[in-house]
């Protein structure tokens, strides 16, 4: 059993200074995995001629396929195209298909085409041009001494279009791999080490072609089974049985049997029962509502989110009593309870979630530590409250509070609490 290997090189100073987050590598790796292609390295390189050249030399020794994103634009810092031309010993020529495409784009936009834009149509004569329907910079496919090099723009939606239109179909025809299949179980409420203790015997009994990996996050642990084999159907059936056994062993801490975010887990719970939810957000500032509406069709179960950041909004819209805020404070079990009741009433939903807290870095008091968040979930019959303490920076605390809020709501809806 041997799989085609791949490396991914992302180019750009912005990736190395943290100005831009590299999402391209993750997307490319996911698509290659479906084809059974093993991604063995991901590398970020600055906009430097020698650094890029060295990276190409290094990765070709390790992988059969090398995917490159970035540095194909029209500005002076975009050096990838001339570098690749020199690396593969080519000469620049004008590709008329790309040239006409560029002209049509600017005609449609009613903007003049400058020389810098037209130079985007220049490509090395020894590459196969990969048409970019979403932009002006074409992709390039090189084959050299048994390696395939695929260069694409760093703009994610342009890269995706080139991959889907020209690269993945070609790889599917060329690559004959053994199967590489993943199955995931998402759990909540138990730490990684405790789950590992429960699965000692399960892991020890795994067949040699299957690996198990733990991917922990705050209060959520994803467990991934990876199987390899010459026959895809056999490996698929093998992993399905192992996943079923894993779910039986872990019982009620299992949240999902596919690798999906909490907002999708919520959707899967709500759609079959035809129930609706609404949110009253203070500290999370609409972040939960944003996450929920990332799922297509959320309007069938999500009524809305009231961002009651100011206490006046808590009082005037959600009906939180002024006396409650004075006596217990905005960050309290009592305030979260009244916010959830108010959301149920104002939004007219079956289930409501409320969040109120201090996410930092300041705002803590003698009574309320930074990172403290009170949550309440409610329906017409009962209310459940929980207090959480998050220990990260403001953004991370907000993300974790949103995730735990959705998890709490899911547990309430499904009768887990």
CA dist., res. 54 & res. 122, Å (int): 24
Q: Are 286 and 214 part of one and the same domain?
A: no
Q: Are 157 and 195 part of one and the same domain?
A: no
Binned at pLDDT 50, 70 and 90, residue 147 comes out as very high
For residue 201, give its domain range: 179-256
Listed in sequence order, the residues at least 6 apart from 213 whose beta carbon sits closer than 8 Å to its beta carbon are 223, 224, 226
Q: Are 218 and 343 part of one and the same domain?
A: no
Q: Are 112 and 186 part of one and the same domain?
A: no
| DSSP assigned state of 360 | S
How high is the pLDDT of residue 355? 98
pLDDT in tens, 154-204: 999 999 999 999 999 999 888 867 788 899 999 988 889 999 999 999 999
Number of independent structural domains in the chain: 3
**CATH code of the domain covering residue 332:** 3.90.950.20
Q: Are 250 and 279 part of one and the same domain?
A: no
Listed in sequence order, the residues at least 6 apart from 89 whose beta carbon sits closer than 8 Å to its beta carbon are 126
How high is the pLDDT of residue 230? 86
CA dist., res. 41 & res. 7, Å (int): 5
CA dist., res. 226 & res. 214, Å (int): 11
Residue 219 has pLDDT above 80, yes or no: no
Q: Are 42 and 184 part of one and the same domain?
A: no
How high is the pLDDT of residue 113? 87
CA dist., res. 316 & res. 322, Å (int): 10
Taking a C-beta distance cutoff of 8 angstroms, is the pair 179, 231 a contact?
A: yes
Q: Are 270 and 407 part of one and the same domain?
A: yes
DSSP secondary structure of 79-119: -HHHHHHHHTT--EEE-HHHHHHHHHHHHHHT-PPPHHHHG
Residue that finishes a domain, picked among 158, 174, 190: 174
Q: Are 53 and 166 part of one and the same domain?
A: yes
Residue 1 has pLDDT above 60, yes or no: no
Residue that finishes a domain, picked among 207, 227, 256: 256
Q: Work out the mean pLDDT of the chain and round it to a whole number.
A: 94
Q: Are 303 and 387 part of one and the same domain?
A: yes
Residue that finishes a domain, picked among 256, 278, 313: 256
Residue 242 CA from chain centroid, whole number = 26
**CATH code of the domain covering residue 11:** 3.40.980.10
How high is the pLDDT of residue 175? 82
The reply to whether omega before 361 is within 30° of 0 (cis) is: yes
pTM, entire model: 0.74
Mean pLDDT across 291-310: 97
Q: Are 72 and 212 part of one and the same domain?
A: no
Percentage with pLDDT > 70 across the chain = 99
How high is the pLDDT of residue 368? 93
CA dist., res. 150 & res. 73, Å (int): 16
Residues, the chain: 417
pLDDT in tens, 375-396: 999 999 999 999 999 988 999 9
Q: Are 274 and 396 part of one and the same domain?
A: yes
**CATH code of the domain covering residue 240:** 3.30.70.2860
Binned at pLDDT 50, 70 and 90, residue 2 comes out as low
Q: Are 19 and 167 part of one and the same domain?
A: yes
Burial classification of residue 321, based on how many CB atoms lie within 10 Å of its CB (0-12 exposed, 13-18 middle, 19 or more buried): middle
């Amino acid at each position: 059993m041997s799989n085609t290997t791949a490396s991914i090189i992302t180019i750009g100073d912005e990736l190395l200074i943290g100005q831009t987050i590299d999402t391209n590598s993750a997307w490319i790796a996911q698509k290659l995995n479906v084809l059974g292609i093993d991604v063995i390295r991901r590398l970020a390189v600055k906009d430097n001629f020698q650094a890029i050249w060295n990276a190409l030399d290094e990765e070709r020794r390790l992988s059969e396929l090398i995917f490159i994103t970035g540095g194909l634009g029209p500005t002076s810092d975009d050096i990838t195209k001339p570098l690749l031309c020199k690396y593969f010993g080519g000469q620049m020529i004008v590709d008329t298909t790309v040239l006409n495409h560029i002209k049509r784009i600017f005609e449609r936009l009613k903007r003049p085409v400058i020389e810098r834009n037209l130079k985007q149509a220049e490509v090395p004569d020894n590459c196969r041009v990969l048409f970019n329907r979403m932009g002006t910079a074409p992709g390039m496919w090189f084959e050299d001494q048994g390696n395939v090099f695929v260069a694409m723009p760093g703009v994610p939606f342009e890269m995706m279009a080139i991959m889907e239109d020209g690269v993945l179909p070609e790889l599917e025809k060329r690559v004959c791999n053994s199967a590489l299949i993943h199955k995931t179980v998402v759990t909540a409420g138990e730490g990684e080490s405790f789950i590992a203790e429960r699965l000692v015997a399960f892991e020890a009994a795994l067949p040699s072609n299957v690996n198990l990996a733990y991917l922990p996050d705050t209060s959520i642990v994803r467990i991934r089974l990876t199987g390899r084999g010459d026959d895809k159907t056999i490996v698929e059936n093998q992993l399905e049985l192992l996943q079923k056994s894993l779910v039986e062993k872990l019982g009620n801490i299992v949240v999902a049997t596919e690798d999906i975010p909490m907002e999708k887990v919520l959707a899967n719970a709500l759609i079959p029962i035809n129930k609706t939810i609404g949110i009253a957000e203070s500290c999370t500032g609409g972040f939960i509502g944003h996450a929920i509406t990332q799922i297509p069709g959320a309007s069938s179960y999500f009524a809305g989110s009231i961002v009651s950041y100011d206490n006046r909004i808590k009082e005037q819209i959600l009906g939180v009593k002024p006396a409650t805020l004075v006596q217990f404070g905005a960050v309290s079990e009592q305030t979260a309870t009244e916010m959830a009741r108010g959301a149920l009433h104002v939004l007219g939903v079956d289930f409501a979630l409320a969040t109120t807290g201090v996410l930092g870095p300041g705002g803590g008091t003698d009574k309320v530590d930074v990172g403290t968040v009170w949550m309440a979930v409610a329906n017409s019959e009962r209310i459940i409250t929980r207090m959480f303490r998050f220990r990260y920076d403001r953004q991370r605390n907000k993300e974790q509070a949103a995730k735990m809020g959705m998890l709490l709501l899911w547990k309430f809806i499904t009768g887990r609490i």
